[in-house]
């Protein structure tokens, strides 16, 4: 299996981007990645795009060739990948396998979503399509309500407190003030989180990631070619993917995301490292409880100790494991199809030492964790400054 390197990254400003269409956002991010890699577009051999639901959000399907067309990649294969919030994380994983196999030498991976062109109730309905349509959303269960059930059970089982969930939001908003591309560049307090409107008890508005427009893109190549394009390649050391039941009621323990446990086991084994070796991680904090449970399921702390981990500041920039220095989905924003690749962009910048005011000092190994639905899909990648 050939080794893989990231040689170019690009990302748009995240937020309510009514000034641009879906295709325009993607082309902006893709052109930035090409510029970063000092690469001509005709060198790209294939395009992998993560997109959850352009058909519902903007009435556009057949997204792969649409974006290849507007990027002037005529006749190049273009793959659209859908896996709910893990769409572009999964696209990145498939591109890694394509390069590792020798099928392609250079590929572009992108993610894009344009979510703000429809009403809030419509967005909630689209989100619910990531769940079991027949046995969950048909009966009125929404994605926030599902994670509220998870949070409430975690409270009962492990003694986690609403204040600890709020600390995740506080940390990630603070980090986002140092990210010029983040949607929410303002700080919040624990009190402000806990007094914001309830979405689904115990989750408040400020426990939930926002509705976001945006795109991100990266360029991958075989490790042997990397130095041709950049002096600071970042290498893919390991990856893992797993799935779980789509419905919460089919799981034996809803406080554990089994797909995260399994995908991380695969990724650690391939990379030849342990959780303690991770310096910086971009974790899937679509809701504050998700980040806390992810600490546990990734092996960063004992099961049930995630609330204590955030409370003791271990995941702050400069802490034991710096988590979501970008601001995470919570504050950087969550354009569903773009989220996974946006995580990769942040980790690459961190390992290059190019993350500016949010730089994690001495970061050598980074992780991205991207989940879909209520943890029905998980894809994890581990990156390093040095080859294996």
Q: Integer distance in angstroms from the first to the last C-alpha of the chain?
A: 12
Neighbours of 231 (CB within 10 A): 7
Residues 247 and 344 both lie in one domain: yes
Q: Which residues pair with 369 in a beta bridge?
A: 380
pLDDT on residue 345: 98
Q: Into how many domains does the chain fold?
A: 2
Residues of the chain with pLDDT under 50: none
Residues 134 and 196 in one domain: yes
Contact of 81 with 69, CB cutoff 8 Å: no
Please report whether residue 33 resides in a domain. Answer: yes
Tell whether 259 is covered by a domain: yes
Please name the helix (run of DSSP H) or strand (run of DSSP E) that holds residue 153, with its range, or none. helix 143-158
Q: What is the pLDDT of residue 388?
A: 81
At residue 163, φ and ψ (nearest 5 deg) are: -60, -35
Domain that holds residue 369: 121-209+237-383
CA atoms of 1 and 102, how far apart (whole Å): 8
> Are 283 and 333 in a shared domain?
yes
pLDDT of residue 303: 97
**Residue 178 sits in the same domain as residue 313:** yes
Is pTM, for the whole model, over 0.95?
yes
DSSP SS3 for 8: strand
Do 318 and 252 share a structural domain?
A: yes
204 phi and psi, to 5 degrees?
-95, 170
Same domain, yes or no: 88 and 164: no
Please check whether residues 70 and 132 belong to one and the same domain. Answer: no
**Domain CATH number, residue 32:** 3.40.47.10
Task: Kindly give, in sequence order, each residue whose CB lies less than 8 Å from that of residue 11, ignoring residues fewer than 6 positions away.
Answer: 29, 32, 181, 214, 215, 216, 217, 342, 345
Helix (H) or strand (E) holding 372: strand 365-372
In contact, 326 and 101? CB cutoff 8 Å? no
Please tell me the distance from the alpha carbon of residue 304 to that of residue 252, in angstroms, as a whole number. Answer: 16
Please tell me whether residues 126 and 90 are part of one structural domain: no
CA-to-CA dists, residue 345 to 19, 32, 149, angstroms: 23, 11, 32
In the listed set 196, 229, 262, which residue is the last one of a domain according to the structure? 229
Per-residue pLDDT, 386: 94
Number of C-beta neighbours around residue 252 at 10 A = 7
Question: CA Rg, the chain, in Å?
Answer: 19
Residues 146 and 38 occupy one common structural domain:
no
Q: What DSSP string describes 22-52?
A: HHHHHHHHHHHHHHHTT--GGG--EEEEE-S
Question: Which of 199, 229, 259 represents a domain boundary (last residue)?
Answer: 229
Tokens of 349: 């910048």
pLDDT in tens, 90-102: 999 999 999 999 9
Query: Catalytic residues, which ones?
Result: 85
Shared domain for 360 and 333, answered yes or no, is yes
Beta bridge partners of 214: 113
Q: Are residues 82 and 9 in the same domain?
A: yes
- pLDDT for position 67: 98
Distance of CA 356 to the CA centre of its chain: 20
């Amino acid at each position: 299996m050939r080794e893989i390197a990231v040689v170019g990254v690009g990302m748009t400003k995240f937020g309510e981007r009514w000034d641009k269409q879906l295709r325009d956002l993607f082309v902006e991010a893709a052109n930035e990645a090409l510029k970063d890699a000092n690469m001509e577009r005709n060198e790209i051999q294939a395009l992998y795009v993560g997109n959850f639901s352009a058909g519902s959000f903007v009435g556009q399907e057949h997204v792969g060739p649409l974006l290849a067309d507007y990027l002037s990649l005529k006749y190049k294969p273009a793959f659209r990948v859908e896996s709910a919030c893990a769409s572009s994380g999964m696209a990145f994983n498939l591109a890694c396998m394509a390069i590792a196999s020798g099928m392609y030498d250079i590929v572009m991976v992108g993610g894009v979503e344009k979510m703000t062109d429809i009403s809030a109730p419509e967005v909630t309905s689209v989100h619910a399509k990531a769940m079991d349509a027949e046995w969950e959303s048909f009966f009125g269960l929404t994605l926030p309500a599902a994670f509220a059930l998870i949070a409430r059970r975690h409270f009962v089982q492990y003694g986690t407190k609403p204040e600890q969930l709020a600390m995740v939001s506080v940390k990630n908003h603070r980090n986002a003030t140092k990210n010029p591309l983040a949607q929410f560049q303002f700080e919040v307090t624990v009190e402000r989180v806990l007094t914001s409107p309830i979405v689904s008890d115990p989750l408040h508005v400020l426990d939930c990631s926002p509705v976001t427009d945006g795109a991100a893109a990266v360029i991958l190549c075989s490790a042997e070619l990397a130095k041709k394009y950049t002096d600071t390649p970042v290498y893919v050391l390991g990856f893992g993917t797993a799935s779980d039941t789509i419905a919460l009621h089919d799981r034996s323990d809803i406080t554990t995301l089994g797909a995260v446990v399994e995908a991380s086991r695969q990724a650690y084994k391939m990379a030849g490292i342990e959780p303690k070796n991770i310096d910086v991680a971009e974790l899937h904090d679509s809701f504050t409880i998700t980040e806390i449970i992810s600490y546990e399921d990734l092996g960063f702390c004992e099961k049930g100790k995630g609330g204590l981990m955030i409370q003791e500041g271990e995941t702050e920039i400069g802490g034991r494991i710096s988590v979501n220095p970008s601001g995470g989905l919570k504050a950087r924003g969550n354009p569903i199809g773009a989220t996974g690749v946006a995580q990769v962009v942040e980790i690459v910048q961190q390992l290059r030492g190019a993350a500016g005011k949010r730089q994690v000092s001495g970061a050598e190994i980074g992780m991205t964790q991207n989940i879909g639905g209520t943890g029905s899909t998980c894809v994890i990648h581990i990156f390093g400054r040095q080859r294996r």
